[in-house]
Chains A and B, each alone.
Chain A
């Protein structure tokens, strides 16, 4: 099995890439909200089924320095929530 240092190094670039994709997703969403607001004059960006909110919750779970249980389990439960 890998050491902690090896895990940190081996998967760093891949996680960096995935985080940039998530950042771009949020920027893309904000840009679409702004376009819609400019187009129809009202605040758009209704996240009616809460997908963006759940992503933010997921990021908060990941950002916590310590986890009481596996983060993957916490996220799978979060995304399974109605």
Chain B
């Protein structure tokens, strides 16, 4: 089965991940800009990072037949430095012109501070002005519900097209308001601290598959890109068809990401061939 991993921090992973993902059917990954594990001090550090994910990383993925796309953003954890945020934002248009950059992300909230909310608003405003897609991170664990509510409040005060915005890391207590407001949502499958493959399938069964993306994130922390394949297996084990699985794990990423014409992988449909004549 062909799979798209729509949220994957490739630079934190080894080539072995690419090799195994390719062997399991992954045809494309999309890499949002991420936190480095420490707060960066210089705009140039971000710019080199964006060059890495927009120029170098596609070449590494290509060695395994995987298409690599990316996003640019200042991580919410670094939004407490508004001067730095402004300087990095000024570099975005240069990257929007690159052939594999899909938009702005992952912006969003961590502790939902005033600086974070202002940074989120600035990111979204810039993305909308340049016709870019947006990927929004929602907070972890105890901060999840409040942070997601604040994300929705910030977006509600802006002139945005919800169909071009993906709110990620939703869970059972946050999915409904995001879908009700017209946004795409993402389930992020982590071994411990986010959603699990089984819970993701529960939500697919409860809410349907429209405007839902499933991803593993997979970064430098405890994470595993193959939680996505675990989720596919769980989905299929419960009796959902191959085509239904393709709709969720391949075609939905095509539908959302394909709103940016640079993402040119199209939805697919499986067909059985008519029986071939038996040679006499």
Contact = CB atoms under 8 A, between A and B. Distances in A.
Given A13-B192, A14-B192, A21 B198 contact: yes
Contacts of A24: 196, 198-199, 202
Contact count band on B: 10 to 19
Interface of B is mostly: helix
A24 B197 CA distance: 11
B192 A17 contact: yes
Contacts of B196: 17, 20-21, 24
B241 interface: no
Contacts of B198: 21, 24, 28
Interface in B164-211: 191-193, 196, 198-199, 202, 205-206
Nearest to B192: A17
A57 B76 CA distance: 43
B202 A28 contact: yes
A31 interface: yes
Contacts of B205: 31
Interface string A18-48: 0011001001100100000000000000000
A22 B141 CA distance: 17
A17 B199 contact: no
A25 to B, nearest CB: 8
Interface string B40-67: 0000000000000000000000000000
Contact of B199 (A13, A21, A31): A21
Contacts, number: 23
Interface of A is mostly: helix
Nearest to B238: A28
Contacts of B192: 13-14, 17
A21 B192 CA distance: 10
A24 B198 CA distance: 8
A63 B217 CA distance: 34
A68 to B, nearest CB: 31
A21 B198 CA distance: 8
A31 B206 contact: yes
A14 B191 CA distance: 9
Contacts of A31: 202, 205-206
A65 B191 CA distance: 28
14 contacts: A13-B192, A13-B193, A17-B191, A17-B192, A17-B193, A17-B196, A20-B199, A21-B196, A21-B198, A27-B202, A28-B198, A28-B202, A31-B202, A31-B205
Interface of B: 141, 191-193, 196, 198-199, 202, 205-206
Given A13-B193, A21-B198, A24-B196, 20 more contacts: A13-B141, A13-B192, A14-B192, A17-B191, A17-B192, A17-B193, A17-B196, A20-B196, A20-B199, A21-B196, A21-B199, A24-B198, A24-B199, A24-B202, A27-B202, A28-B198, A28-B202, A31-B202, A31-B205, A31-B206
Interface of A: 13-14, 17, 20-21, 24, 27-28, 31
